[in-house]
Amino acid sequence: MANIGFIGLGIMGKPMARNLMKAGHTLTVYDVVTASVDEVAAAGANRGESSSAVAAVTDIIVTMLPDGPQVEEAVLGPGGLLEGARKGAIVVDMSSISPMVSQKVAAACAEKGVEFLDAPVSGGEPKAVDGTLAIMVGGKKEVFDTVEPVLKAMGSSVTLTGAVGAGNVTKLANQIMVACNIAAMGEALVLATKAGLDPEVVFNAVKGGLAGSTVLNAKAPMVIGRNFKPGFRIKLHQKDLRNALLAGESLKAPLPLTSLVQQILMALMNDGKGDCDHSAIVNFVEDLAGIEVKKPA
């Protein structure tokens, strides 16, 4: 069993850390929110007083943070894990960030003799709890081989996608498909509801055909049930699409649909819905149509 550090105990990080402990790994944790550390420590984890302190006593350090600036601060900043990490340690950043930031952090780690993988995840809170996340990894194969058993305690699908940065490019591709799928689902169900149909009947009619998808199966019932409790927040998906557009710009890859949905997400944030589940993308279309997607009264 591995001696693991875990930095970042939010909606995703907390259940991921619990699954590592369930698999028998020794865990030392840190988060800027003390209550989150208290909760995971009560379940059996050791406390770390800083990112540096966590790195000083562990061999593999996992970070699960909101965006690139937080990853840079936790790894490279004062009190960051590179101050405490031992030569030969492995940093596994499971945050969803810009691939360019992943490469910058990896280069800084390499200067200190520390290995780095970017390993963002897909599946949201339910799959984080179940330990069935899809994990997309970028980095050296020999480092991936070392860490793969640890990752399999958190995910049912663990794939090496290329060099450092490739994990986050793959995650951005995933986020484009998910966001555009939810937006298209919203338009379809708004049309059906506006036409007087029961959206649940329409959902059940199409889910077994070509339009069926994991996104449809997960998100249509939430919309029809008017449940927008976050499994993955609007504001985080907006951040991911912003990173996708920045990557697209640097690679000269036009992403017109991504741009449109990212603007929808920003409008929803301005409407106070940034902490809603990303299924609330449908709310934007509902507002345009003046109707809610729900079962007829």
Active site residues: 171
Task: Give 226's Cβ-side CA count (13 Å radius).
Answer: 6
> Which has the closest alpha carbon to 285: 296, 271, 295, 111?
271
Phi, psi angles (nearest 5°) of residue 18? -60, -40
Are 129 and 120 contacting, i.e. CB atoms less than 8 angstroms apart? Answer: no
DSSP state of 86: P
- φ, ψ at 79 (rounded to 5°): 75, 10
Q: Where are the beta strands (DSSP E) in the chain?
A: 3-7, 26-30, 46-47, 60-63, 90-93, 115-118, 121-122, 133-138, 155-162
